[in-house]
Chains A and B, each alone.
Chain A
Amino acid sequence: MSTYQKMAMALCLAFAADGSALADEFTEADVQRWQQQFMSVVSEGRELWTSPKLGTNGVACAQCHPNAANTHPETYPKFQKQLGKVVPLWQMINWCLKNPLEGQPLAADDPKMTALQAYVTYERRGVKLEPGKH
């Protein structure tokens, strides 16, 4: 064992003794917590998806996209002929917020946008990635 390795091991032991987790290890409890976090964001997304709050005219995403059907998150980024360029999913969501819902677009990192994308992608789970597909 080299000096460097000994030092690294000593450091790791020190962290472990400190109660901190090792960098490359996580427990079942961690996975459960992360999953809960994810599902709670999915659930917020579902709430937004079925609610008229994102728009101004009473229209909700779910009216045209029940269960987020016909959104094809696995095909983005892709060329949208009507926008004339390749866009990621969140830009298409904003098109819908501005047009059918007559609402305000959301910032890419807005927690609501994250929740919408989490919900859409969760409803599409199990489908293989096909970026660019039409």
Chain B
Amino acid sequence: MVLNSIRTYDDWTFKRWPTAEQRMLEMAGLDNPNSSPFMVGEEQRLWLEKDLDKVDKNTPVVVFSHSPLQKIYKGWNFWTEDADQIQALLKPFKKVSVIYGHVHQIQYNQIGNISFNSVMATAWPWPYPQSYAQAEQYLPKLTVPMNRADPFFERDATGWQFINVADGNADLNFTLSDNTGRIVRYNDTQKRPEDTRYQDEKTRIIPQTHY
């Protein structure tokens, strides 16, 4: 299923700026979002509840959403205001995978039965929230960050990925421009997504440290 997790309004989308270019420029200042906090909203939550009611609890559920359906850092909208309520609706299902965008970086997490995976952006790199000293942020401890972006390589820290959701768990194969690829796969024993190469602290490399 696909959830619209950015509730915007006509005023914001069509009326506030003279041109779409000017709106995009405002979006570039995302560190001070002028839109409302990202949320799924009551209307869609009610729809989701009714829709899921018809589904057997053993059916794998895969949810696509723009913003993370978890709370990581509010200042950059790495956040969904009603994430807790959405997670509560997904909790009764045996196997749930949430795939989200917005963050332009590799993130993954496991909350109970729900796996979270982010996807890459082909546009500009976005730093990890721990590199903003004033931020109160909760990057999932499970996430092994990408390498710090090297500004001297124009496409560094951008990329794309192939995602296999055939068995209801998400396996992600990341192709990163100007960087070594990464594979994040659901580990059936640990019951969580893991990087196949760097998950163990001992295998990590210096550029994965963000500060």
Interface secondary structure of B, over-half rule: loop
CB-CB < 8 A to B127: which residues of A? Answer: 64-66, 69-70
A60-B25, A82-B152, A100-B151 known; A66+B31 contact, CB < 8 A: yes
CB-CB < 8 A to B151: which residues of A? Answer: 64, 95-96, 99-100
Considering the chains assembled together, what is the distance between the CA atoms of A63 and B24 in angstroms?
Answer: 11
Min CB–CB distance B26 → chain A (angstroms): 9
Considering the chains assembled together, what is the distance between the CA atoms of A70 and B21 in angstroms?
Answer: 26
A60 touches B134 (CB 8 A): no
Interface secondary structure of A, over-half rule: loop
B133 touches A58 (CB 8 A): no
Q: Indicate if B102 sits at the interface (CB-CB under 8 A).
A: no
Considering the chains assembled together, what is the distance between the CA atoms of A120 and B24 in angstroms?
Answer: 23
- A69 partner, pick from B25, B29, B132, B152, beta carbons under 8 A: B132
Min CB–CB distance A68 → chain B (angstroms): 8
Q: Indicate if B126 sits at the interface (CB-CB under 8 A).
A: yes
Within residues 40 to 54 of chain A, which ones have a CB less than 8 A from any CB in chain B?
50, 52
Q: Indicate if B142 sits at the interface (CB-CB under 8 A).
A: no
A67 touches B134 (CB 8 A): yes
Q: Indicate if A39 sits at the interface (CB-CB under 8 A).
A: no
A52 touches B25 (CB 8 A): yes
Q: Indicate if B163 sits at the interface (CB-CB under 8 A).
A: no
Q: Size range of the interface on B?
A: 20 to 34
| Nearest B residue to A58, CB-CB | B25
A67 touches B28 (CB 8 A): no
CB-CB < 8 A to B31: which residues of A? Answer: 50, 62, 66-67, 69
B29 touches A125 (CB 8 A): no
A125 touches B133 (CB 8 A): yes
Considering the chains assembled together, what is the distance between the CA atoms of A127 and B134 in angstroms?
Answer: 10
Within residues 83 to 140 of chain B, which ones have a CB less than 8 A from any CB in chain A?
124-127, 129, 131-135
A66 touches B149 (CB 8 A): no
- A123 partner, pick from B29, B124, B134, B149, beta carbons under 8 A: B134
Min CB–CB distance A48 → chain B (angstroms): 12
A60 touches B29 (CB 8 A): yes
| Nearest A residue to B210, CB-CB | A70
A124 touches B133 (CB 8 A): yes
A64-B151, A67-B31, A96-B151 known; A126+B133 contact, CB < 8 A: yes
Q: Indicate if B41 sits at the interface (CB-CB under 8 A).
A: no
Question: A residues engaging B (CB < 8 A)?
Answer: 50, 52, 58, 60, 62-70, 72, 82, 95-96, 99-100, 123-127, 134
23 contacts between A and B (CB under 8 A): A50-B29, A50-B32, A58-B21, A60-B28, A62-B31, A64-B126, A64-B127, A66-B132, A67-B31, A67-B75, A67-B134, A68-B132, A69-B31, A69-B127, A70-B127, A70-B131, A82-B150, A95-B151, A99-B151, A125-B133, A125-B134, A126-B134, A134-B206
Q: Which 6 A-B pairs have the closest CB atoms?
A: A66-B31, A70-B127, A69-B132, A82-B152, A50-B29, A69-B127
